[in-house]
Amino acid sequence: MCDSAKSETEVPSTFMSLPVRSIYVHVPFCEHRCGYCDFSIIANRAELIPRYLNALRKELETSPHLDSHLLEVDTLYIGGGTPTLLSANELEELFSILSDSFLLAPDAEFTIEANPDGLTADKIQVLKSVGVNRVSLGVQAFDDSRLIQLERTHSVQQTETAIELIQQNFSNFSLDLIFAIPGQTMAEWQQMLLKAISFQPPHISSYALTYEKGTRFWSDRNKGNFQSTDEQMEVEMYLKTISELTKANYDHYEISNFAKAGSQSRHNNIYWSGRPYLAFGPGAASFVNGQRHSNHRSSFTWMNRLEQNQSPIVSTDDLTAEERARELLAIGLRRRQGVNLDDLKNATGIDIAACYETEINDLIEKGWIQKEPFCLKITLAGLLFADEIASILI
C-alpha cells in the first residue's frame, strides 16, 4: 500500500461528493440471446415488460440517492438488452416513469440503444417527443451471413432502413460494429468499415468478438466446434480500424470508440473520467459518494426483491482513496487524451506517479504508456495490451 494513502475521512471532498449528473437505465429485454452475449438480459419474454416497468418505478421511488425533487441530469443513457423491443406505448410508460425522477438539463445528451429490426417510425416519434437526441444502433455487421453467424435477428436491409430512419430524425447517432468474426478476412472487414463510414455516422464503436466464460460461443469454441480468429489477424484488424476511421476524420478518443468533432459519447466519458453516476435496473452498477453499488444480475431476482420491498442492491464496495486512484488511472488510460496526474492527485489525495513509480516505469519501458508533463497516455502499442495494463494498475 502507498505510504501516503489517506484514510477515507481524509479524502478530498472532490472524491466523495461530486454531484451526480448522469443516469444509466438497464432494459434487459431481447428477442434472442446472441451466442457471444454475457449481459444481464431476458430473451423472448416480452410479457414481463409491464412487471419490469413496475419494478423500475419502485426502484426509483425507494432509491436512497433520490428524493422528492427532480434530479437534473446532463446525460441519460437507456441501454440493454434492447430498449426498443418495448412497444411505443411501453416506451412512453418508461419515459413517464423516468420523468418522475429526472429532469434533462437544457443541453443534455439522451441516448437510447436500438437494434435495426425493432426501430419503427412510431417508436422514433416517441423517442423524439421525450427528448432522446442520440441513438446507438447495434449494426455489428453489414453482411447477412455474418449476422447469421453472430446470431443477430436483423438483416442488412433492415439496418440500412433503420439508419435512414435515424438520419431523418436525429443528428447524433452511433453505429456498433464487431470484427474478428471467425472466417472474416481483412478485405471483408475493410469493406465493412467503408460501408459504415459511407453513412457518415457521427460516432462509431468497434469491438473484437469476445468469448466470455459461460456464453454459448465460449462453450462451442472450447468444444472445438469452431476456431476463433488468430491473435495476429485480430491485431491487424484493429489497426486497420484505427487507420481507416482516422483517415475518415474520426477522432480515436477511446480504445474502441471513434467520433467526429463534438460527437464523443458524453455519457461514456463520465465513466472513463471517474465522475459519479447512478444506474438502475437488473445488473446495473452505480458509483456515488465513493461507493460502488451493484444490483442483482438476475432480472427475476431484481424484480422479486423490489416487489417484496427489498433493496435490489446485492453488493456495496467502499473504495479507499488509493483504490480509487488506481482505478481512475487504469480507466482513464483507455482515453487517448490520457490522465492528468495533478487532477488525479487533487481528486483522490494520492500522488499515483510517486506511489506506483515502479509499475508505471515498467509500463513505460514496455512502450505501452508514455509520460508527458503532468500526464500519462497510452501508446498505439499499449492499445493492444489495455486489459493487461489495467490488471497491473488495479
SS3 (DSSP) at 356: coil
The verdict on 19 and 147 lying in the same domain is: yes
- The verdict on residue 372 lying in a domain is yes
- Look at residues 153, 31, 195, 23 and name the one whose alpha carbon lies nearest to residue 97: 23
**By the 8 A CB rule, do 150 and 179 touch?**
no
Alpha helices in the chain (DSSP H): 13-16, 49-62, 88-99, 121-130, 144-149, 156-169, 186-198, 216-222, 231-247, 266-273, 299-307, 321-332, 341-348, 352-355, 357-366, 380-383, 386-393
Q: Give the whole-angstrom CA distance, residue 236 versus residue 158.
A: 29
Answer whether the bond into residue 131 is a cis peptide, omega within 30°. Answer: no
Is residue 9, in this structure, part of any structural domain at all?
no
Give the pLDDT confidence score for residue 7 in this predicted structure: 35
Q: Are residues 77 and 148 in the same domain?
A: yes
Query: What is the domain extent for residue 68?
Result: 15-273
Task: Say yes or no: 37 and 170 in one domain.
Answer: yes
Q: What is the residue type of 176?
A: D
368, part of any domain: yes
Please check whether residue 166 lies inside any domain of the structure: yes
Beta carbons within 8 Å of 361's beta carbon, 6+ residues apart? none
* Identity of residue 242: I
Identify the pLDDT of residue 10: 41
Show the cell assigned to 202: 457521427
Domain membership of residue 284 (yes or no) is no
Number of domains in the chain: 2
pLDDT at 369: 94
- Cis amide bond preceding 283, omega within 30: no
- Tell me which of 253, 273, 293 is where a domain ends: 273
Cα–Cα distances in Å, from 138 out to 116, 146, 271?
7, 14, 21
Closest CA to 238 of 336, 381, 36, 389: 381
Please state, in angstroms and as integers, the Cα–Cα distance from residue 280 to each residue in 74, 79, 103, 236, following that order: 16, 10, 16, 38
pLDDT of residue 178: 96
Residue 268: the pLDDT is 96
Kindly state whether residues 28 and 166 are assigned to the same domain.
yes
Residue 257 lies in a domain: yes
pLDDT at 289: 87
**10 belongs to a structural domain:** no
Do residue 238 and residue 337 come from a single domain? no
Q: Tell me the longest C-alpha to C-alpha distance in the chain.
A: 60
207 in a domain, yes or no? yes
* 259 and 326 part of one domain: no
Same domain, 269 and 357: no
pLDDT digits (tens, 9 = 90+) for 245-264: 999 999 999 999 999 999 99
Q: How many CA atoms lie within 13 A of 161 on its CB side?
A: 12
Cell numbers that stand for 80 in this block: 440493454
Tell me which DSSP letter residue 277 carries.
B
Contact 123, 91 (CB under 8 A): yes
Last residue of a domain, one of 209, 239, 273: 273
Residues 134 and 221 in one domain: yes
Same domain flag for 105 and 164: yes
Decide: helix, strand or coil at residue 20.
Answer: coil
CA distance 380 to 385: 10
In this structure, what C-alpha cell is assigned to residue 341?
496526474
CATH of the domain at 370: 1.10.10.920
Residues 115 and 247 in one domain: yes
**Low-confidence spans in the chain with pLDDT less than 70:** 1-17, 35, 37
Dihedral Cα 234, 237, 242, 248, nearest 10 deg: -160
Sign of CA dihedral 56, 59, 63, 69: positive
Q: Tell me if 25 sits within 8 A of 279, measured CB to CB.
A: yes
Element (H, E) at 105: strand 102-114
Task: List C-alpha distances in Å: 234 to 49, 181, 195, 238, 240.
Answer: 38, 9, 20, 6, 10
Number of helices and strands in the chain (H, E): 17, 17
The CATH number assigned to the domain holding 225 equals 3.30.750.200
Cell 453489414 locates to 142
Residues 218, 361: one domain?
no
* CB 76 within 8 Å of CB 107: no
Task: Supply the pLDDT for residue 6.
Answer: 39
**Which one of 247, 273, 299 terminates a domain?**
273
Task: Count how many Cα atoms sit within 13 Å of the Cα of residue 26 in the half-sphere of its side chain.
Answer: 23
Instruction: Name the residue type at position 336.
Output: R
Question: Could you tell me which residues come within 8 angstroms of residue 250 by beta carbon, excluding any fewer than 6 positions away?
Answer: 204, 258, 259, 260
95 and 190, same structural domain? yes
